Structure 1
Amino acid sequence: MNGARFPFHFATAYRLPALAFGITPRTAWVDLTDEDLRVRYGPWSLRTTRDNVASLQRTGGFAFVKTAGPPHLSFADRGISFTTNGEDAVCVSFQEPVPGIDPTGRIRHPGATLTVADVPGLMAALAG
């Protein structure tokens, strides 16, 4: 695999809150290369090596108020959510936590939730 781009799936209700933070289909995607997993979400980004991916889980059914707009930090486990819909996502767990939500990199995330348009495709690519 040389690389693949997975755009985010924007539900209609999520578009305006995302736009307020500079998150649009032109500024939000997941890039997967042979070496790296890279997330761009408006002005936010996350990058890690593929060998840092520990596990994958399909998830969904998110509450709008907990997921719309900018990335969200879980106070329960410090995970980061890059969510543009509430229906379908992949939760990627990392062996070593990675920076993503703050510009200083002090907050590190043990996992990231990603609402890409092709959840099964991203999961298959990461698992392969």
Structure 2
Amino acid sequence: MAAERQTYTFRFSPAYRLAALPFGVTPASACVVVTDRHLGIRFGPWRLVTPLDNVADAEEVTGPYAFLKTAGPAHLSLADRGITFATNRDGGVCIRFRTPVPAIDPLHLIRHPTATVTVTHPKLLAVRLSPPSG
């Protein structure tokens, strides 16, 4: 049986696209992939991979975001250690993990309890990642 795989592209605004380019973040190097077993986020050189059952929930649509706090590379929140992968200021999805995951540093010393992604269809991603009701 083939694994179900859904790819969500990032929505780049012109200013964010320009700010991200020096960090290797482009439409070709940024996406969110959800399979029946894993969540994967690629954002230029940054990667986040976790089992799908580590996703506690996904808050549909957060934002707007401050350009200086989110444009360019992946951003670490000093307040809560969350990671933000932003390509526009308008909105995205905040994904909360049961167990914090590595992503921002190559040694995996920092663990993130949340990840925010500004995909093209945030509502669809939030629905896909939300636990089944019932």
Q: Any residues of structure 2 matched to 1:8-87 within 5 Å, and which?
A: 8-57=10-59, 58-87=61-90
Partner in structure 1 of residue 105 of structure 2: 102
With the length of structure 2 as denominator, give the TM-score of the two structures: 0.93
Aligned-residue CA RMSD (Å)? 0.9
Q: The residue matched to 1:113 in structure 2 has which SS?
A: strand
Q: Partners of 1:110 and 1:119 in 2: how far apart?
A: 19
Q: Partners of 1:119 and 1:77 in 2: how far apart?
A: 22
Q: Partners of 1:68 and 1:5 in 2: how far apart?
A: 22
- Equivalent of 1:90, from 81, 89, 93? 93
Q: The residue matched to 1:77 in structure 2 has which SS?
A: coil
The superposition leaves residues 63-96 of structure 1 with CA deviations (integer Å, 9 ceiling, x where unpaired) of 0000000000000000000000010100001000
Letter in 1 for 2:104: I
Larger Rg belongs to: 2
- Pairwise CA distance, 1:124: 1.3
Stretches of structure 1 lacking an aligned partner (at least 5 in a row)? none
Alignment length, in residue pairs? Answer: 128
The superposition leaves residues 88-117 of structure 1 with CA deviations (integer Å, 9 ceiling, x where unpaired) of 100001000000000000000000000000
With the length of structure 1 as denominator, give the TM-score of the two structures: 0.97
Stretches of structure 2 lacking an aligned partner (at least 5 in a row)? none
Letter in 2 for 1:3: R
Letter in 2 for 1:4: Q
Q: Partners of 1:73 and 1:34 in 2: how far apart?
A: 28
Identity of aligned residues (%): 52
